[in-house]
Each structure stands twice: as structure tokens, then as C-alpha cells.
Amino acid sequence: MRIAMIGTGYVGLVSGTCFSEFGIHVTCVDKDARKIELLGENVMPIFEPGLDDMVAANVDSGRLSFTTDLKSAVKDADAVFIAVGTPSRRGDGHADLSYVYAAAEEIADAMDGYTVVVTKSTVPVGTGDEVERIIRARRPDAEFDVVSNPEFLREGSAINDFMRPDRVVIGTESAKAQRVMKQLYRVLFLIETPIVFTSRRTSELIKYAGNTFLATKITFINEIADLCEKVGADVHDVAKGIGLDGRIGKKFLHPGPGYGGSCFPKDTLALVKTARDFDAPLKIIETVVAVNDERKKQMAGRVIAACGGSVKGKSVAVLGLTFKPNTDDMRDSPAIDIVATLLDAGAVIKAFDPEGMKEAAKLLPPAVQYCDNAYATMAGAECLVIVTEWNEFRALDLDKVKSLLKSPAIVDLRNVYAPDEMKELGFAYTSIGRP
Ligand code: UDX
């Protein structure tokens, strides 16, 4: 089997590499010549644990290659995956499908013989129909099927999520296309991964319904955390107590500063827009979007309170900038709102993130001072804020932290420390949803 993967972003690069690990010949295609050149030298465009080694091994085996030449990659392929970006469209929040449709046109012009065209990017319901229409209009006689095959991998654990997924969703009613997809995922069939075969539109909706459900779960526990603070309860015990009910499940009940990243904010918004277009508003998801946006803005208030009501002229140490650990991705990270609000309120911000500072510098105001390590942020700071739970921030030398801070105030937005221990050590410690 031979496939072409169009787009070498997170989803395209990880999926392409993992398919080659499954024994399939994969050509990854991107318009960005520099990116392709660097990939040829085993320089990854993203930080994803284990990816560089897996790419190197599969390139060596001859199964994985990178090119800007879409035409030749598609010509020889049994299946062509569209894994280009679908960012939020400026102004209206709909998914921007221009890259998907442009790829469909190029694929149409290059296809040779029966080809399965697979949308792997997260795309609104009906996109597969439009991709089919575009290809059919350019190639009336071509033999092809358009399949929806959403990807559920998480950044930071992308390889494991792809190689051992909870399920694979395949949206097509064509038996021929189903056979090709089964062959591509043969390795997962062998380890008895559940495969959901369904219609193309249903498959497209599954991806959005999944992400919006998870975003709702996080937002739910965040609100319960706020209530815990008022009534003197512990949100972790609440999460455990409800999560042990199999109908609820214990995952995605960790409270924090609000969800961010490349998927949840964009996908919740896009689904809300789609539902409105179809006159079936999703009131729960609309509320989730509003509550999460508000939450990210409110987090700075906790820091201001910890600094005695004002941060004007005071130094604040920020640990962690990315939307979660083990990634360099800053998209929609809560740090963006927190840092901007604190700067507006007159704070001096010193920040450190193990992988995210290059991306952060593109998104955060230029006044942010970036430091070489966690401790360098703290010298003379009024308050230390943990925004992202990188492992190295879970194991700080707390005596050293105390000696470096001007006043020993810590705002822990990820609950990585225990309130009792922090109190014993003499910190003024604020966390989320705990007495
Ligand atoms: C998510 C989905 O999990 C994945 O299936 C989909 O394909 C893409 O979007 P990702 O964005 O990589 O993956 O990150 P994820 O680990 O899901 O975290 C998203 C956000 O939710 C982060 O900001 C994280 O900090 C937050 N989160 C997650 C919580 O605040 N609490 C939790 O319990 C879980």
C-alpha cells in the first residue's frame, strides 16, 4: 500500500510517520519547501516526544519520504490523506476550509487510477460532500471515493494515541473504500481496536461531538472547582467521587485555568456556528465557550489578589506558557490572557517554559522577559504562578523558591502541590478548588 499525506502539521506528520511504522509507504507533502528540507535532515517542525526517532527509522527503511511535489506523490497513491489546517476563520469563527478545498483541486488534477481521498483534518459536516463535488467537477471520469477518517491524537502523546487509539472512525458507504481503509489500519485490527464504520457526515460530526464533549467535561469540573472554593470542599475528591461512576469516567476532570490548544477552542466554536446555521443551536456548547473564555481572563485576578490587590510595579514569575506540557504549542493557551492582563495591570513579567518560549515570543506582548530556567524567573518576585504543569515544575526545590521570592506567594493554577505541605513550608498558597 502507498499513501500520500498532504500537510505536515501535527496531524499529518504524526499520522504519516505512524502509517509508515505500520509498514505502509508514505509520502508526506507540504508546500513549505524549507519545512520539507529540514524534515529531510530530521529536524522536526514541532516538538513531539519520540517523533524524530520514529521519522529517522522509517526514512532509513525507505518507507517514509518528504516532498513538495504533490503531483508525483498523489499519482502513485492508493489513498491520499488531506491533513491541512482548518483554523478558525477571522471574523465569524467558522472553520476556514480554503486549504482543504485547494488540496482537493490539486489532488483531482494528479490522481491516477482508483484513489481513496481521506479527510483527516477536522472538518465540518458536509465538507466531504464538497471535496467530492470539487474532484468530480475537475475529473468527471475519475474513479475515487471520499472518506472521513478523523484523528483523535493529543499533542504530547501523539504517537501513542495514534498507535494505540481507543477507536478508529471511518466514514464511507463505499465497500471498495472500506476495504482500502481496513488494509491501511490492518495493524490496529490485529490488536482488536474498535473500528466504527459509519456514514461520512456522521463521522465528521463524531469528531466535533467528541471534542466538544471533552471541553464540556473540563468546563464542568472548573465550575465545580469554583464552587468548592466557596463551600470549603475539595474538587479532586469530588472528581474522584463522581469519576468512579463508570457512566462519568475519571478522565478529563482535572481543574485548571481553562482549556486551550489547537483543537478545543476552534472546534467548540465551529460546531456552535454549524449548529446555528442549521437552526439547531447548541446552548450547552455555547455556554461552555463563553465560560471558558471568561475563565481564562479571570485567572489573572487570582494573581492580583495574591499580590495584595495590585501588581502595579511588582514582579510576577510565570512558570509554563504552552497550553499544556510536552508541547511547544501556544495556540489559545491560558497564558496569553493571564500575561496580557497582568501586564495591563502594571506587572513586570518574567517567564520560563521548557519548550514554548520561541512560540510565546510571537504571541505574547514584547514586554515579557524570558528566563533560562524556573529559578531565574523568581528572584525578587512578588508571586510565582504555575500556568502549565511541566514535570520539572512539580519538583521545584521549595526552600530555594522561598528564599528567591520577595514574598512567598504561589498561585498554582494546575494543582501540582499539596495545600497542607505548602502551608507548612510557610507559603501563601492559592490553588484551584481546594480549601
Ligand atoms: C485534544 C483532544 O484530546 C484530541 O482528542 C483531539 O484530537 C485534539 O484536541 P490536545 O489539544 O492535544 O487534544 O490536548 P488535551 O490533552 O486534550 O488538552 C486540551 C486542553 O484541556 C489543555 O489546555 C489541557 O490543559 C486542558 N485539560 C485537559 C484540562 O484543563 N483538564 C483536563 O482534565 C484535561
pLDDT of residue 93: 80
Contacts of 94 (CB under 8 A, 6+ apart): 88, 124, 270, 273, 274
- AA identity, residue 156: G
Burial 234-270 (b: 16+ CB within 10 A, else e): bbbebbeebbeeeeeeeebbbbbbbbbbbbbbbbbbb
Domain with CATH 1.10.1040.10 in the chain: 208-289
Q: Taking a C-beta distance cutoff of 8 angstroms, is the pair 388, 330 a contact?
A: no
Q: Which three cell numbers stand for residue 310?
A: 495590585
User: 435 falls in which pLDDT band (50, 70, 90)?
Assistant: confident
CA of 264 to the centre of ligand 1 (A): 7
Question: Ligand 1: does its nearest atom lie under 6 Å from the Cβ of 254?
Answer: yes
Structure confidence by residue, pLDDT tens digits, 166-224: 999 999 999 999 999 999 999 999 999 999 999 999 999 999 999 999 999 999 999 99
CA of 145 to the centre of ligand 1 (A): 32
**Probe residue for ligand 1, chosen from 218, 291, 296 as the CB with the greatest number of ligand atoms within 8 Å:** 218
Q: Which three cell numbers stand for residue 242?
A: 463522581
331 is in an annotated binding site: yes
Tell me which residue of 192, 195, 145 sits closest to 170, measured CA to CA. 195
User: 111 falls in which pLDDT band (50, 70, 90)?
Assistant: very high
**Probe residue for ligand 1, chosen from 153, 264, 413 as the CB with the greatest number of ligand atoms within 8 Å:** 264
Domain with CATH 3.40.50.720 in the chain: 2-198, 296-430
Q: Taking a C-beta distance cutoff of 8 angstroms, is the pair 410, 422 a contact?
A: yes
152 is in an annotated binding site: yes
Fold of 208-289: N-(1-d-carboxylethyl)-l-norvaline Dehydrogenase; domain 2 (1.10.1040)
Structure confidence by residue, pLDDT tens digits, 302-341: 999 999 999 999 999 999 999 999 999 999 999 999 999 9
Tell me which residue of 81, 86, 258 sits closest to 177, measured CA to CA. 81
Average model confidence (pLDDT) for the chain?
97
Question: Ligand 1: does its nearest atom lie under 6 Å from the Cβ of 220?
Answer: no
pLDDT of residue 92: 84
Q: For domain 2-198, which CATH number applies: 3.40.50.720, 1.10.15.40, 3.40.462.40, 3.40.630.10?
A: 3.40.50.720
- Protein residue with least CA distance to atom 6, ligand 1: 152
Structure confidence by residue, pLDDT tens digits, 213-262: 999 999 999 999 999 999 999 999 999 999 999 999 999 999 999 999 99
- Protein residue with least CA distance to atom 16, ligand 1: 154
Contacts of 279 (CB under 8 A, 6+ apart): none
The whole model's pTM is what?
A: 0.95
In the β-sheet with 315-319, what is the strand arrangement from edge to edge? 369-370, 348-352, 315-319, 383-386, 409-412, 428-430
The residues carrying an active-site annotation are 263
CA of 154 to the centre of ligand 1 (A): 7
**Probe residue for ligand 1, chosen from 169, 214, 248 as the CB with the greatest number of ligand atoms within 8 Å:** 214
Question: Ligand 1: does its nearest atom lie under 6 Å from the Cβ of 260?
Answer: yes
**CATH class entry, domain 296-430:** alpha beta
Question: Ligand 1: does its nearest atom lie under 6 Å from the Cβ of 252?
Answer: yes
- Protein residue with least CA distance to atom 25, ligand 1: 324
CA of 260 to the centre of ligand 1 (A): 7
Question: Ligand 1: does its nearest atom lie under 6 Å from the Cβ of 331?
Answer: no
Question: Ligand 1: does its nearest atom lie under 6 Å from the Cβ of 218?
Answer: yes
The yes-or-no verdict on residue 94 having pLDDT over 90 is no
Cell 505548602 -> residue? 422
- Protein residue with least CA distance to atom 17, ligand 1: 154
ipTM of model: 0.95
Structure confidence by residue, pLDDT tens digits, 363-407: 999 999 999 999 999 999 999 999 999 999 999 999 999 999 999
Atom of ligand 1 nearest to the CA of 152: 7
Contacts of 196 (CB under 8 A, 6+ apart): 167, 168, 169, 170, 203, 206
Structure confidence by residue, pLDDT tens digits, 67-81: 999 999 999 999 999
Structure confidence by residue, pLDDT tens digits, 281-300: 999 999 999 999 999 999 99
CA of 323 to the centre of ligand 1 (A): 9
The yes-or-no verdict on residue 91 having pLDDT over 90 is no
154 is in an annotated binding site: yes
Q: Is 164 exposed, middle or buried (0-12, 13-18, 19+ CB in 10 A)?
A: exposed
122 is in an annotated binding site: yes
Question: Ligand 1: does its nearest atom lie under 6 Å from the Cβ of 206?
Answer: no
Cell 505574547 -> residue? 364
CA distances to 254, 265, 333 from 261, rounded to whole Å, are: 16, 7, 6
